[in-house]
Structure 1
Amino acid sequence: MPKLHRIRRGPGRIADFDRAVLRRISRWPHGNHDAFFRKLSASATKGKLWFAVAGALATVPGKPRRAAVHGLLALGVASAVTNLGFKALLPRTRPLPEHLPVFRFVHPQPTSSSMPSGHSASAVAFTLGVSFVHPAAGALLAPVAAGVAYSRVHTGAHWPSDVVFGSAIGAGAALLTRRWWPARAEQPEQRRSDEALPRIADGAGLAIVVNAKGGSYSPETGEVLRETFPNAHIREAGDDDDVTAVIEEAAALPGTKALGVWGGDGTVGTAAAAAVEHGLPLLVLPGGTLNHFARDAGIATLEDAVAAAAAGSGIRADLGLVTAGRGQDGTDEVREFAMLNTASIGVYPNLVRRRERLQGALGKPLAGLIAGLRTFGAASPTTLLIDGVRHRIWILYLGRGRYYPRDLAPLARPVMDDGVLDIRMVTADEPFARLRLLWGVLTGTAGSSKVTHLREASRISVQALDAPLVLAVDGEPLPGVRSAEFSVGPGHLRVYSPAAGTAGSSMRTTLIRP
């Protein structure tokens, strides 16, 4: 007799086990525990209990929020496998009223197959999914999950073997989703090539350009900088000024020993190119919105910049070089400029903007997930010739230096002079590319998906085959681009940076606010 038939009719070891457990439970006297298990079982119906727990965890950024997402993913898989798969394949009658006291028996009894227990599968899947990310939260939920699983037997909704099988399905679903969210490789420790630079205590020999058009500029900016560097030459570039020309003039001033800049990363990049051309070290004053380069150089505040300049402490950094051609064939107008951080073509700027709008409320991981799903769900690929090879791409991302983590959300650059371009492409060349990509974004495996290509090089060329491109370099968009070449000038830039261990010192210079 087939095993399935034996399970349905009752004979066999599994049926003997089920009836023995129910007989033991039926002997327990009536008490408050009966009402407790009925309510606990009802609270977990259709996942209500676990959605409530996930909602509570999601209010706390970081690990709790990531744990909630992972737990819900595992629950979704377990629920789908149980209700759409095994319940149809393994029809089984639920316990009858004579198997338990009437005061304990659940009313109304579910009508679906008893094998396996969906409540148990969801409880175990959610709890294990949470514990993979946040072990302490998982440990707190474990007794609740066990109580939910037992409640299905206590109330007569399931046979004990249904609960065992359902729990196994939940554990398997959680283990499967664990592979979807692989542990990120640890980024290397920050490494720097120290460089002795001219000491500038009061601003003598320092030429500073302030971009008054954006960033965190306020009317107080020039006043505070003059108080901080009383002997520096300070020039504010207003709406009627060409910032590039003002920076060139400042760098060429007689007696200039260092070039300072206050502004966003685009302005800092222009100043970096001028500093390299004139053989000057660069002092970055964090006056932009995000200050990516300044932070990577160890300058998070104005105090850090002042301390580095006074001590003559600096580092060597690579400088990215971009040559962009516009016009019909890419040769009508050619522009050359510096790249300090990143460049991108395709939908990456839209993804970043969406993520930054959401991450304050949701945290970076969940914000990145939602931003990725929204962006790639509606995006169209662009056809490019990359190093002579034709590709249909959603994203071409270039980092000046290796960024970490090695996926679609690079955040940190621990080394400033590694001499490479970090190249990340998301292509539409593969079959079912959009589905592969959306699945990778949903499961956290986009970095290892077949549509994602990660490599490093010192040079790369790009040519538009259809419409002109919008090239974003350090956050500054350049439309109408037909061709672009990117390369690295290894160690070309000398930049002031606090000595290791001194960033964020106790020195308290007045900060400039927007």
Structure 2
Amino acid sequence: MSARGREPTHRPAVLVVNTRSGGGKVSRFRLIERAERLGAQVTVIGEGQSASSLAQAAIEQGAEVLGVAGGDGTVSAVAAVAAATGHPLLVIPAGTRNHFARDLGLDIRNPARALPALLHADSARVDLGVVGSRVFVNNVSFGIYAEALLEPGYREAKARTLASIAPAYIEGQHRVEATVDTPWEAIDFPQVVLVSNNPYQLSPPRRVGCRFALDTGLLGALVIKRPPEPPDLLPTLHRALRQQAGADPAETGVITWSAPQVVLHGAVPRLPAGIDGEPIELSLPVRCEIRPGALRVLVPKRRTGVRRRLTRPADFGVGG
């Protein structure tokens, strides 16, 4: 957590915006106009541009606060720059799922409610996950079901789509071509490996996939050793997760633990993965690590979704 104290006001802020995120939330909530009205400079990610390069350019041009409007993938790119340069980050949840923003206590239904932090904000230190040279604010996933697994309100359409490819999944065609070390044993060719920046809640059902803390200094790890049988694929996975506390992994096929590092290794040269929902291939061995308190975040003083005390008082502002 950051130390108590007042920060100087009128700090130049640049908001990096991904207009393609979240099905048009940036336009629907008029985020660009509202941010500019509060004194922020807005830069929109264009064709062939990256969020990280725009964030770095903003720092070089004198920005003292970095903002980002987009989904977890865009947020992680700007967060990496903010952490590396020691600048605070303000998150506007303009993506589809907005896991990181949700766990910061932001209102993910109305991203405009995060904008007042441009004028007056609370400040906190949170952890960042790192895999190779990449930062992740939410998770790194391996295996076709990893992302769907921790969606609390998955849609029936999603369940049907996943069930349609269940035969290949059951036959092991979608296994992770690697070995993951756990505190109990090394698991060869698991079905799913998911590593999160701080551990997820696995119960009750409506809290599955939420993080009540972002500053534990630990990664959350989840491995599914074998697939459940169709046709109730996702419900079976969710039941296994809810039963995991105190259950025998040999019976559930699910292993969860917390650690500062998680390692996958194997014979294949590269492993398909998702970093905060963005597809990538990673060279083996894959080392996922935690950087405690690496990122300073700014959040509005009133947060409708807050689940824990996250903040230390501090005033921030932008010129205008």
So what's the TM-score if we normalise by structure 1? Answer: 0.49
| 2:273 aligns with one of 448, 466, 471 | 471
* Aligned partners of 1:252 and 1:278 also within 8 Å: no
Aligned partners of 2:34 and 2:98: how far apart in 1? 19
Equivalence for 2:318:
none
Distance 1:374 1:427, change over 3 A: farther
| 1:287 aligns with one of 94, 115, 126 | 94
Higher strand share: 2
Q: How far does residue 276 in structure 1 lie from its aligned partner after superposition?
A: 1.0
Q: How far does residue 223 in structure 1 lie from its aligned partner after superposition?
A: 2.5
Equivalence for 1:319:
128
* Aligned partners of 1:385 and 1:465 also within 8 Å: no
Q: How does 1:244-259 map to 2 (within 5 A)?
A: 244-254=52-62, 256-259=63-66
Distance 1:352 1:251, change over 3 A: farther
* Aligned partners of 1:471 and 1:481 also within 8 Å: no
2:263 matched to 1:453? Answer: no
* Aligned partners of 1:401 and 1:416 also within 8 Å: yes
Aligned partners of 2:234 and 2:52: how far apart in 1? 44
Higher helix share: 1
Equivalence for 2:188:
391
Structure 2 letter corresponding to 1:492: A
The residue matched to 1:415 in structure 2 has which SS?
Answer: coil
2:241 matched to 1:441? Answer: no
Q: How does 1:207-246 map to 2 (within 5 A)?
A: 207-215=14-22, 216-218=25-27, 220-227=30-37, 229-230=38-39, 232-246=40-54
Equivalence for 1:503:
303
* Aligned partners of 2:150 and 2:208 also within 8 Å: no
Structure 1 letter corresponding to 2:131: V
Identity of aligned residues (%): 25
Q: How does 1:186-201 map to 2 (within 5 A)?
A: 198=7
The residue matched to 1:217 in structure 2 has which SS?
Answer: helix
User: Residues 416-440 of structure 1, C-alpha deviation per residue, up to 9 Å, x if partnerless?
Assistant: 1011111010114xxxx75699699
The residue matched to 2:105 in structure 1 has which SS?
Answer: coil
Equivalence for 2:312:
none
Q: How does 1:159-170 map to 2 (within 5 A)?
A: none
Q: How far does residue 481 in structure 1 lie from its aligned partner after superposition?
A: 4.4
Q: CA RMSD in A?
A: 3.6
Distance 1:196 1:298, change over 3 A: farther
Aligned length: 284
Higher relative contact order (CA 8 A, sep 6+): 2
2:152 matched to 1:345? Answer: no
Of structures 1 and 2, the larger Rg is shown by 1
Aligned partners of 1:238 and 1:386: how far apart in 2? 38
Distance 1:467 1:339, change over 3 A: same
Structure 1 letter corresponding to 2:127: D
The residue matched to 2:86 in structure 1 has which SS?
Answer: coil
| 2:114 aligns with one of 295, 305, 312 | 305
* Aligned partners of 2:35 and 2:115 also within 8 Å: no
The residue matched to 2:26 in structure 1 has which SS?
Answer: coil
The residue matched to 2:212 in structure 1 has which SS?
Answer: coil
Distance 1:410 1:378, change over 3 A: farther
Structure 2 letter corresponding to 1:351: A
Structure 2 letter corresponding to 1:290: R
Q: How far does residue 441 in structure 1 lie from its aligned partner after superposition?
A: 1.3
2:212 matched to 1:414? Answer: yes
* Aligned partners of 1:194 and 1:313 also within 8 Å: no
* Aligned partners of 2:269 and 2:283 also within 8 Å: no
| 1:264 aligns with one of 46, 51, 71 | 71
Structure 1 portions without partners, runs of 5+: 1-191, 324-335, 362-366, 506-514
Distance 1:475 1:226, change over 3 A: same
Distance 1:240 1:211, change over 3 A: same
The residue matched to 1:276 in structure 2 has which SS?
Answer: helix
* Aligned partners of 2:146 and 2:193 also within 8 Å: no
| 1:274 aligns with one of 61, 81, 86 | 81
Q: How far does residue 385 in structure 1 lie from its aligned partner after superposition?
A: 2.4
* Aligned partners of 2:70 and 2:94 also within 8 Å: yes
Distance 1:196 1:426, change over 3 A: farther
